[in-house]
Amino acid sequence: MKEKNTREYKEILMSAKIWDFWADRYDRLWVQKHSLGPTREYILEKLEKLEKGRNNLLDLGCGPGELLHEIGKRYPKLKLTGVDYSERMLEVSRKRNIGACHELLDAMHIDRLEGRFDLITCTHSLPYYRDPKAVLHKLSGLMTMNGRLLVGFASGDSVFDKVMLAGVKLTTGKANYPSDDEFRKMVKADFNVLDMKIIKRAFYMPRIAVYTLSIKTDNRERC
């Protein structure tokens, strides 16, 4: 068991170093135009309907804080928290989002955060988690009863998507891009899927799926 934990720890460090490398280059990545940017635009539009009556937001896998920055500008009353396991990513985000809280945490340790959140966003980081189902379960425990979780990722829903996403792994490391069916099974025990949006993309890009989730009341009552 100790050997396994040591191996996992080394894998986490190696993965974090990859994202440390990309932190200062993230704004210039070509996927900003066709993937990351459009996803942020949709999240901002969605929050227009969800933000009223909700006070705080957690962005898991916040990276260099691009989404946090845009949320802060459009919804200044929200208290923002960003979490990432890349130290350099958080350094960039702290400079960009001076008023936001930041925590250096691996996604598997997200349950160490104190308090609960009305809104949680998780965009383009889920495929890189070692156990995404476990992370999602822990997120359900961090949400208020009327909270909403927005999860967006490139979805391996077709052969074309899988082929295109295989190339992404060469620059970012190990990843698993779930199909729509796989994701729905992943969240079934903890969440209700309220809606799902496919982000428009260039013909050579894989599909980007963004889900809006609420926690299951009966599941929360057992916690």
Q: What pLDDT shows up at residue 175?
A: 79
Measure the CA–CA gap between 190 and 42, rounded to whole angstroms.
Answer: 24
Contact in structure between 129 and 135 (CB atoms under 8 Å): yes
Q: Are 123 and 61 in contact, with CB atoms under 8 Å apart?
A: yes
Tell me what pLDDT residue 174 has: 74
Which pLDDT does position 16 carry in this prediction?
73
Total domains in the fold of the chain: 1
Which residues of the chain, if any, have pLDDT below 50? 1-4, 169-171, 222-223
Condensed to tens digits (0 to 9), the pLDDT of residues 202-214 reads 666 778 899 999 9
pLDDT in tens, 142-190: 999 999 999 999 876 665 555 555 555 444 557 788 999 999 999 999 9
Residue 170: CB atoms within 10 A of its CB come to 7
Domain with 193, as residue range(s), is 2-222
Burial class from Cβ neighbours inside 10 Å (0-12, 13-18, 19+) for residue 110 reads buried
Structure confidence at residue 4 (pLDDT):
47
Radius of gyration of the chain (CA): 17
- State the CATH number of the domain containing residue 168: 3.40.50.150
